[in-house]
């Protein structure tokens, strides 16, 4: 065979192989693309699953009784609402809240800022990651599939960091919010508009960041307690225009303790505080410089929230679930009670982050993102995700 013939034969063989090689390459590329798409889809699905189960950060109840709404914030930066008379949670349509850097989520703190009106709307103060406190109208009128949360007026701030907590007086006309080591004061006018109090009325600490706030009203006297990251609880006499620093609760600022992450006043007299090292202490809130009157056995994990029920029981929530105590200030463990076991036993294997109540319901928020509504008269319980 001549050289010319050999070259012609080679070109013919290459021409025959080319379609097969192209087909193989195309099939390989298609398989690779499909595999990549599957991996991305799985990743998105897992991310979505995590996002829809963000840890509950805070719960605020608006209104009372069966028509109450529990506003729930979680670590994904979303808000949900649980109706007291329903077993399912509703989405919250945000109008203005989260629309700017000043009011972006996650929303670390919330408090009721006015009872629900006859038309089904209520007001709330929402602490944002954008260093502002948002004033919101919550429209929870019956019949709607979605509960609307509308930012109202200008956001309050700026603060020096994330707004970690907000606490109000009983009449809802005065509030304090905290970020870093400052807690400015706000007042609500007759038209519902919140304005900043004078700078001299701001609570200031230079020992650590303020994590939680709690207000005690005793006649005309107002005391604001601050749970601090340095392990202390600080008290301020806020009855006058220039708050007076009453020092560390218990009188000893050097006593070792974890970050104070939960505060609650029980029976208008006893200040119960919980910390990240599992310690729960009771002090006389009217004489905050006095030593602790009681300390319960250390709990197995961080304390995240403390709530007093109307019947005198005190609930302590944290990484260990929920522990029930009674008879403040001693806070004896409620053990062997069948009703308590039926109501709270299910939470022992869960990490519980937030508690809130109305006169007839208890709302429990978990690290899993689940919110459970319990009828306190034990006639009915409902769970929502």
For residue 231, pLDDT over 80 is answered with: yes
Give per-residue pLDDT as tens, 177-203.
999 999 999 999 988 889 999 999 999
Q: How many domains does the chain have?
A: 1
Answer yes or no: is 13 within a domain: yes
Do the domain assignments include residue 270? no
Contacts 24+ apart (CB under 8 A), 286-293: 286/216, 286/218, 288/223, 288/225, 288/235, 288/246, 288/247, 288/249, 288/250, 289/246, 289/247, 289/249, 289/250, 289/251, 290/250, 290/251, 291/250, 291/251, 291/252, 292/250, 293/329
Domain membership flag for residue 44: yes
Q: Is 376 within a domain?
A: no
Query: Across residues 191-217, what is the average pLDDT?
Result: 94
Q: Taking residues 105-119, what's their average pLDDT?
A: 81
User: 13 lies in which domain range?
Assistant: 1-51
Per the domain annotation, does 279 fall within a domain?
A: no
β-pairing verdict for 270-275 and 260-266: antiparallel
The reply to whether the predicted model has a pTM over 0.85 is no
> Residue 183: inside a domain, yes or no?
no
| Lowest model confidence (mean pLDDT) among 75-84, 156-165, 250-259, 370-379 | 370-379
Measured distance CA(126)–CA(162) in Å, rounded:
11
Within 10 A of 171 (CB to CB), how many other CB atoms are there?
Answer: 9
Residues 6+ apart with CB under 8 A from 65: 84, 358, 359, 360
Highest mean pLDDT among 4-18, 42-56, 293-307, 334-348: 293-307
* Across 42-56, 114-128, 356-370, least confident range: 42-56
Summary mean pLDDT of the chain: 83
Per-residue pLDDT band at 109 (split at 50, 70, 90): very high
């Amino acid at each position: 065979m001549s050289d010319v013939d050999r070259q012609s034969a080679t070109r013919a063989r290459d021409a025959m192989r080319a379609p097969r090689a192209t087909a193989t390459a195309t099939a390989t590329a298609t398989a690779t693309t499909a595999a990549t798409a599957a991996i991305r889809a799985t990743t998105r699905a897992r991310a979505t699953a995590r996002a829809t189960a963000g840890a509950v950060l805070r719960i605020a109840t608006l209104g009372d009784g069966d028509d109450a709404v529990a506003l729930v914030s979680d670590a994904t930066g979303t808000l949900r609402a649980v109706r007291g008379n329903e077993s399912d949670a509703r989405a919250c349509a945000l109008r203005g809240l989260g629309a700017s850097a000043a009011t972006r989520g996650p929303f670390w703190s919330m408090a009721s800022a006015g009872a629900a009106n006859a038309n089904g709307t209520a007001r709330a103060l929402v602490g944002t990651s954008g260093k502002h406190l948002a004033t919101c109208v919550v429209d929870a009128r019956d019949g709607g599939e979605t509960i609307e949360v509308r930012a109202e007026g200008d956001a309050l701030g700026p603060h020096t960091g994330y707004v970690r907590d907000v606490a109000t007086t009983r009449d809802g006309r005065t509030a304090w919010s905290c970020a870093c080591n400052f807690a400015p004061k706000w007042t609500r006018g007759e038209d519902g508009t919140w304005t900043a109090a004078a700078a001299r009325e701001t609570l200031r600490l230079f020992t650590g960041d303020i994590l939680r706030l709690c207000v005690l009203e005793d006649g005309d006297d107002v005391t604001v307690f601050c749970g601090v990251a340095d392990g202390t609880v600080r008290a301020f006499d806020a009855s006058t225009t220039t708050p007076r620093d009453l020092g560390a609760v218990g009188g000893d600022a050097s006593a070792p303790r974890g970050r104070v992450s939960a505060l609650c006043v029980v029976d208008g007299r006893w200040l119960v505080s919980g910390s990240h090292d599992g310690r729960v202490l009771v002090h006389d809130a009217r004489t905050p410089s006095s030593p602790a009157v009681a300390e319960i056995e250390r709990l197995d994990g961080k304390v995240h929230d403390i709530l007093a029920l109307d019947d005198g029981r005190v609930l302590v929530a944290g990484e260990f679930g929920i522990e029930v105590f009674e008879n403040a200030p001693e806070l004896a463990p409620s053990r062997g009670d069948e009703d308590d076991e039926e109501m709270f036993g299910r939470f022992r294997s869960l990490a519980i982050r937030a508690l809130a109540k109305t006169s007839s319901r208890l709302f429990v928020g978990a690290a899993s993102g689940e919110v459970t509504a319990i009828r306190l008269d034990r006639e009915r319980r409902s769970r929502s995700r």
